[in-house]
Structure 1
Amino acid sequence: MTTQQEKAVRFRALHDEPRPFLIPNPWDAGTARLLAGLGFEALATTSLGVANTLGRKRVDGEEVLDNCRAICAATPLPVNADLENGFADDPAAAATMIESAYAAGAVGASIEDATGDRDAPVYDFGLAVERVRAAAEVARALPVPFTFTARAENLLYGVHDLDDTIARLQAFEAAGADVLYAPGLRTLDEMRAVVSSVGRPVNVVMGFADPTITLAQLAEIGVRRVSVGAALNRLALRAFLDGARELRDGRFEFVADMVPLADLHEAFGES
């Protein structure tokens, strides 16, 4: 059995390898096992994927942690937890989610600077940095080399200011973040500008980016980690809706596209 210490060391080492690694986002134990069976080296949770599964726009902290616990138990792979904004504005309160994610089995986690408030969607610069510093201190105090990722969310909330994004990431680096992440980067030039401006590994999420960008191109500009957020979950839901609409219209061609049950049982380790 792989220990949490071993997972943490492996996860940290993946960020130091000479090529970027892919970290897909399952939303339950079954999809985690399918991804592990395909040979991925690490997994990341997706709070949006969990919300979609529950049929809601948002989830709470306990639901995120329950999902994290299930995914961590499903495979021996390292898991990074999507903790949204820590489900609290106060730096110390948000930082407690790092310890909770560790207790759920994760060896890494991200906290973002999005507030959840439509009128003021991103925390003020100073408070955002305080929140990262508090989370980094909790992560460093854990008994394993827990990898803490700090996210700058302004590009997703109408603040189309790459300079501000970079300034936030640089401040997050100085405050102790191990990995830096700015969802909403769309072009290679934007990604290159971020990577070249910081000294920590950068995660790029391809759910918002130009889909013609290749992993080789991301490697060339120095990206260290590549995720897809809820993209796989939304892809699966699209297939579900397409099949359901066909069914509603009295047609059944969709059954020809089903994954063979034997393939699923093999991936799940069943006879």
Structure 2
Amino acid sequence: MTYAQRAEQFRALHRTGEPLLLPNAWDHASAAALAHAGFPAIGTTSLGVAAAAGKADATGGTREETLNLARGLARLPVLVTVDIEGGFSDRPGEVAALAAELAGAGVVGVNIEDGRPDGTLTDAVLQCELIRAVKEAAPDLFVNARTDTYWLRAGGAGETERRAADYQLAGADGLFVPGLQDEKVITGLVEGMAGLPLNILYAPGALTFERLAELGVCRVSSGSLLFRAALHGAVEAARAIARGGAVPQDLPSYADAQALSAAYGEEA
């Protein structure tokens, strides 16, 4: 299958009538396990990638870690989209070069966000320049334009709608609004974006996957949830050993983990 065909296959997953559940991996092992479990597409979580490298998330410091991981994940038998934070640069040419390298490796999508580490939003004009640069460098790459209007509580529904329109005109293939759980706003975006797929971040205890589907959401991401669940599970297992308690019995075996490496390792 050619790259263009795989890219179209990824787009098609947003048009099935049911949301694409996109689990987010943080390293090769987690991605291989999700691929083995049968998920048709996986994303990366910038928090997980940064934390695994001992760095802070959303500060632009993990470009090389993200690129190196992406090269490996693109060899998995699954469609891969990569979280590139804000593009790791404010220079359209540098962001475009990264996009071209990712597409060249086989990555079919990217997330690019407009939130800044200081809690503000990137100027919408600059963000549109970045989106256009990515699309010019890698036309088939699915650009999921993330706006942090709700994540950072900066502007609410009005600013979200304005940015959605601007990003769509700049060439974005999807809109991602993490932190948004207002049903009325979600419905308004779905109806007002002329077919631009809406991506919502799953939040435990908030809108269910089923309800998001009813509202017309096309993609539901797990974000850093799986990474944080894995950290919690590791600590709880260690505590259980120390207390003489029970450790979960349905864990992957050593052989299972080895099999993932054998099937999806560096030489695959």
Task: Please indicate, yes or no, whether the TM-score normalized by the shorter chain is above 0.5.
Answer: yes
For residue 185 of structure 1, the aligned residue among 177, 180, 204 is 180
Residue 173 of structure 1: how far off its partner (Å): 0.4
Question: What SS does structure 2 have at the residue aligned with 1:156?
Answer: coil
CA RMSD of aligned residues (A): 2.4
| Residue in structure 2 matched with residue 202 of structure 1 by the alignment | 198
Q: Which range is displaced more, 128-137 or 58-67? A: 128-137
Letter in structure 1 aligned against 2:207: I
| Residue in structure 2 matched with residue 60 of structure 1 by the alignment | 62
Q: Cα deviation per residue 1:138-172 (whole Å; 9 max; x = unaligned)? A: 232xxxx3211111113222315221011101110
Q: Distance in 1 between matches of 2:77 and 2:143?
A: 20
For residue 69 of structure 1, the aligned residue among 71, 84, 103 is 71
| 8 A Cα contact 1:187 1:210, kept in partner | no
Residue 265 of structure 1: how far off its partner (Å): 4.6
Q: Cα deviation per residue 1:185-216 (whole Å; 9 max; x = unaligned)? A: 1233332222222121111111xx36342222
Q: Distance in 2 between matches of 1:34 and 1:241?
A: 20
| Residue in structure 1 matched with residue 260 of structure 2 by the alignment | 268
Residue 175 of structure 1: how far off its partner (Å): 1.1
Q: Distance in 1 between matches of 2:9 and 2:70?
A: 18
1:153 aligns with 2:143: no
Question: What SS does structure 1 have at the residue aligned with 2:111?
Answer: strand
Q: Distance in 2 between matches of 1:13 and 1:258?
A: 34
Q: Distance in 1 between matches of 2:86 and 2:116?
A: 7
Question: What SS does structure 2 have at the residue aligned with 1:43?
Answer: strand
Q: Distance in 1 between matches of 2:129 and 2:35?
A: 36
Residue 43 of structure 1: how far off its partner (Å): 0.7
| Residue in structure 2 matched with residue 105 of structure 1 by the alignment | 106
Q: Distance in 2 between matches of 1:244 and 1:38?
A: 25
| 8 A Cα contact 1:81 1:108, kept in partner | yes
Where do residues 134-149 of structure 1 align in structure 2 (5 Å cutoff)? 134-140=133-139, 145-149=140-144
Question: What SS does structure 2 have at the residue aligned with 1:22?
Answer: strand
| Residue in structure 2 matched with residue 218 of structure 1 by the alignment | 212
Q: Cα deviation per residue 1:75-127 (whole Å; 9 max; x = unaligned)? A: 211101111111111223222221121123201112111233x1x63112222
With normalisation by structure 1, the TM-score equals 0.86
Q: 1:162 to 1:30 in 2, by over 3 A?
A: same
1:232 aligns with 2:234: no
Q: Distance in 1 between matches of 2:105 and 2:71?
A: 5
Structure 2, unaligned runs of 5 or more: 264-268
| Residue in structure 2 matched with residue 93 of structure 1 by the alignment | 94
Q: 1:239 to 1:28 in 2, by over 3 A?
A: same
Where do residues 14-25 of structure 1 align in structure 2 (5 Å cutoff)? 14-25=13-24
| 8 A Cα contact 1:28 1:70, kept in partner | no
Q: 1:137 to 1:53 in 2, by over 3 A?
A: same
With normalisation by structure 2, the TM-score equals 0.87
Q: Distance in 2 between matches of 1:266 and 1:197?
A: 48
| 8 A Cα contact 2:53 2:65, kept in partner | no
Aligned residues: 259
| Residue in structure 2 matched with residue 114 of structure 1 by the alignment | 115
Residue 263 of structure 1: how far off its partner (Å): 7.7
| Residue in structure 2 matched with residue 165 of structure 1 by the alignment | 160
| 8 A Cα contact 2:151 2:180, kept in partner | no
Q: Which range is displaced more, 55-64 or 196-205? A: 55-64
Question: What SS does structure 1 have at the residue aligned with 2:74?
Answer: helix
Show structure 1 runs of 4+ deviating over 6 A: none
Question: What SS does structure 1 have at the residue aligned with 2:25?
Answer: coil
| 8 A Cα contact 2:19 2:217, kept in partner | yes
Structure 1, unaligned runs of 5 or more: none
Residue 241 of structure 1: how far off its partner (Å): 2.1
Q: Which range is displaced more, 227-236 or 106-115? A: 106-115
